[in-house]
Amino acid sequence: MNLLIMGAPGSGKGTFSSRLKDNYSLAHISTGDIFRKNISENTALGQEAKSYMDKGLLVPDDLVNRLVLDTLENLPEGVNGYLLDGYPRTLEQAKAFDEATKGTANEVDQILFMDVPHDVLKKRILGRRTCPKCGEIYNIYFKPTAVENVCDNCGSALSARADDNEESLKTRLGEYTRMTQPVIDYYGEQDKVAAINADNDFETIWAQITEALGK
């Protein structure tokens, strides 16, 4: 079974990726990990990617495609397929990926789209507070502390991530939707998209996922 998982920042994609990987014995492949691995192992593709990143440039679609395909050609023994995370990010990548894998063992079977309204994503991300001392994670909207900004466990002052402000998040979510909606529409035309209502508790979301994959 070959899966793509798509979802905006804060959609819970990471949590469900690890559950999917374990439950269905899939190779979990994120583009971030592929880049890091190829760069640290100094492969030819890694060197090429690094030359763009060093200049602060985006790695071009064509190179991203080659990195992903190369990784899929070398999946670990014993896996039942792949779970791709963070790819394809654009319609161009999706089309190239389809063209390269159509009719092969690496053709994608299903796209899981973790759908969460943007106002909920904003609360999840902007409301997040962590305890620097004991590592406990809170949310001012969904999991507040008894005393504002003080850890229930250890009494330390909580911290928020400095780069998560409302304006930058709005830009980030808008950009994400602008890039990925055409990808979702494209796979929708092939009847491969399962939209998961991910504004739910863990078990409800997981039940939707297993039902979608059981079909």
Binding footprint of Zn ion on the chain (CB under 5 A): 131, 133-134, 136, 151, 153-154, 156
Please report which helix (H) or strand (E) contains residue 40, including its range: helix 31-40
The residue behind tokens 């979510």 is 173
Out of 13, 21, 124, 129, pick the active-site residue. Answer: 13
Sign of the torsion formed by the C-alpha atoms of 129, 131, 137 and 142: negative
Distance, CA of 175 to CA of 193 (rounded, Å): 21
Q: Is 178 a catalytic residue?
A: no
Report in angstroms the alpha-carbon separations of 160 from 5, 88, 133.
27, 30, 13
Least separation in angstroms between CB 14 and Zn ion? 22
Out of 102, 143, 161, 170, pick the active-site residue. Answer: 161
Least separation in angstroms between CB 128 and Zn ion? 14
Out of 89, 95, 122, 192, pick the active-site residue. Answer: 89
Q: Is 19 a catalytic residue?
A: no
53 or 134, CB closer to Zn ion? Answer: 134
Q: Is 89 a catalytic residue?
A: yes
Of the candidates 113, 118, 116, the residue with the CA atom closest to the CA atom of residue 186 = 113
90 or 156, CB closer to Zn ion? Answer: 156
Report in angstroms the alpha-carbon separations of 193 from 3, 23, 100, 182.
10, 20, 20, 12
30 or 156, CB closer to Zn ion? Answer: 156
SS3 state at 28: strand
Q: Is 66 a catalytic residue?
A: no
Least separation in angstroms between CB 144 and Zn ion? 14
Least separation in angstroms between CB 140 and Zn ion? 16
4 or 151, CB closer to Zn ion? Answer: 151
**What residues act catalytically?**
13, 89, 128, 161, 172
